[in-house]
Amino acid sequence: MRKNLTILVLAMGLSSCTGDFKSINTNPNAPIDAQPALLLRQVIYDYGEEMSYEGFVAGNLLGQYFTMIDFNLFDRHALSEPQVGGNPWPVIYTNLRDNEIILREARSNPVYAVYEGPALILKAYMTAALTDIYGDAPYFEALRGQQGNVTPAYDSQEKIYTGVDGILDNLDKGVVALQNYTGNLTLDGDILFGGDPAAWITFANSLKIKFLMRIADRVNPSGRLQEIYDSGDYMTTNLQNATYGFTDGQPNNFRMARLRAGDFNLFILSETAAEILTGLNDPRLSLFYRPVGKDATQPQYRGFLNGPDASQTTISVGDFSLTGTIFREHTGGLDANFLTAWETFFLLAEAAERNFISADAQTLYESGVRLAFDYWGVPLPDNYLTSGAAVYGQSGADKIEQIITQKWIANTINGYEGWIEFRRTGFPKLKTIAASLNNDLIPRRMPYPTDEAALNGANFSNATVNNDNSINHAVWWDVN
Model pLDDT for residues 160-208, shown as the tens digit of each residue: 999 999 999 999 999 999 999 999 999 999 999 999 999 999 999 999 9
Q: Residue 2: what pLDDT? A: 35
Q: Residue 1: what pLDDT? A: 37
The answer to the question of residue 179 being in a domain is yes
The answer to the question of residue 314 being in a domain is no
Rounded mean pLDDT, 50-60: 96
Tell me the pTM: 0.92
Tens digits of per-residue pLDDT, 343-398? 999 999 999 999 999 999 999 999 999 999 999 999 999 999 999 999 999 999 99
Q: Residue 318: what pLDDT? A: 85
Q: Residue 13: what pLDDT? A: 38
Rounded mean pLDDT, 131-144: 95
Q: CB-based contacts of 5: which residues, under 8 Å, 6+ apart?
A: 32
* Structure confidence at residue 30 as a pLDDT band (50, 70, 90): very low
DSSP-derived 3-state class of residue 150: coil
Q: Residue 422: what pLDDT? A: 98
d(CA 361, CA 379): 23
253 has which bridge partners?
247
Q: Residue 402: what pLDDT? A: 98
437 burial (CB, 10 Å; 0-12 / 13-18 / 19+) is middle
Asked if 75 and 64 touch (Cβ cutoff 8 Å), the reply is: no
Question: Identity (one letter) of the amino acid at 14?
Answer: L
The answer to the question of residue 29 being in a domain is no
Q: Residue 145: what pLDDT? A: 73
CATH number at residue 423: 1.25.40.390
Q: Residue 296: what pLDDT? A: 67
Rounded mean pLDDT, 271-299: 93
**Is pLDDT at 16 greater than 80 in this prediction?**
no
**Is pLDDT at 27 greater than 60 in this prediction?**
no
**Is pLDDT at 433 greater than 50 in this prediction?**
yes
Q: Residue 218: what pLDDT? A: 98
The answer to the question of residue 393 being in a domain is yes
**Is pLDDT at 10 greater than 70 in this prediction?**
no
Angle, to 10 degrees, between the axis of helix 361-376 and the axis of helix 399-410? 20
Neighbours of 313 (CB within 10 A): 12
The answer to the question of residue 297 being in a domain is no
Question: Identity (one letter) of the amino acid at 436?
Answer: S
Q: Residue 336: what pLDDT? A: 97
Domain containing residue 59: 36-249+333-464
Question: Identity (one letter) of the amino acid at 376?
Answer: W
**Is pLDDT at 480 greater than 70 in this prediction?**
yes
Count of domains for the chain: 1
- Beta strand 66-68 with 154-155 is unpaired
Q: What is the phi/psi pair of residue 338, to 5°?
A: -90, -50
d(CA 216, CA 221): 6
Q: CB-based contacts of 41: which residues, under 8 Å, 6+ apart?
A: 189, 190, 191
d(CA 383, CA 390): 9
Rounded mean pLDDT, 427-440: 97
Winning range, highest mean pLDDT, from 21-35, 142-156, 389-403: 389-403
The answer to the question of residue 113 being in a domain is yes
The answer to the question of residue 106 being in a domain is yes
DSSP-derived 3-state class of residue 126: helix
Q: Residue 33: what pLDDT? A: 66
Range scoring the smallest mean pLDDT among 14-18, 31-35, 47-51 = 14-18
Q: Residue 21: what pLDDT? A: 38
270 has which bridge partners?
304
358, 370, 423: which is closest to 59 by C-alpha?
423
The helices-and-strands tally (H runs, E runs) of the chain is: 18, 6
Rounded mean pLDDT, 17-34: 48
What is the rounded average pLDDT for all residues in the chain? 92
The answer to the question of residue 14 being in a domain is no
